[in-house]
A and B are shown apart, each in its own frame.
Chain A
């Protein structure tokens, strides 16, 4: 079965550079989520989108922005990169909750960002 696709899988950037991470959800999934996981830490929710609109916001820095496109793929844009941005970035997708019942989130393999 098709899974969540993230690209690139690895990315190395210098401080103060910009980076764009891409996420392609499972076909027919309309909701996308972004998470950041620093070394030895638990995943931290950044932001989510439903039908191209931001649906929830977590601990996303102001230097980061994201959007969801008409084909439901999403991009996380990161500017003025700092050393502390080095982390694994996971994207997940799901169907929106229906009849008040949540749906399962399916996670991608992650993008490992290293900031030098």
Chain B
């Protein structure tokens, strides 16, 4: 499985944008880039996924580097409810292997 590297933790101020990076230099051509998050005491929750082009949805945006070796999850205006562990996962199908994600702290 292709490996991803994310910072252990990040901090953000409420209502400011947050850019969560993910490096995946060994990504294969068929790997999709998925982002899930896990809020405290809850199961993981889908955020967004993409293959080559940047993607937007109501929760976030996903910016994918042209060489696909890195990507960035963008939360446009962080709220206190966005405090969670964010996981970047590569897979060509639905099988998710969670690595060590980024713990996002949002300060009021």
Within 8 A of A (CB), among B39-73: 42-46, 49
A107 closest partner in B (C-beta): B43
Looking at B43, B45, B91, B93, the one whose CB has the most chain A CB atoms below 10 A away is: B43
**Which of B46, B94, B98 is in CB contact (< 8 Å) with A43?**
B98
A25 CB within 8 Å of chain B: no
Q: Describe B's contact surface by its main secondary structure.
A: loop
> Which A residues are CB-close (under 8 A) to B49?
102, 104
The reply to whether B98 and A42 form a contact with Cβ atoms under 8 Å apart is: yes
CB distance from B39 to the nearest CB of A (A): 11
Which residues in window 63-108 of B have CB below 8 A to A? 85, 87, 91-101
Known: A97-B94, A102-B34. A42 touches B87 (CB 8 A): yes
Chain B residues near A100: list those with CB within 8 A. 30, 92
**Residues of B contacting A48 with CB < 8 Å?**
94-95
A58 touches B43 (CB 8 A): no
Closest to A94 in B: B94
CB pair A58–B97 under 8 Å, yes or no, is: yes
Closest B residue by C-beta to A48: B95
The contact sample of 26 A-B pairs, CB cut-off 8 A, is: A33-B96, A35-B98, A42-B85, A42-B87, A42-B99, A42-B101, A45-B97, A48-B95, A58-B97, A90-B43, A90-B44, A94-B94, A96-B94, A97-B93, A100-B92, A101-B32, A102-B91, A102-B94, A103-B94, A104-B46, A104-B49, A105-B96, A106-B46, A108-B43, A109-B42, A109-B43
**B interface residue numbers (CB < 8 A to A):** 30, 32, 34, 36, 38, 42-46, 49, 85, 87, 91-101
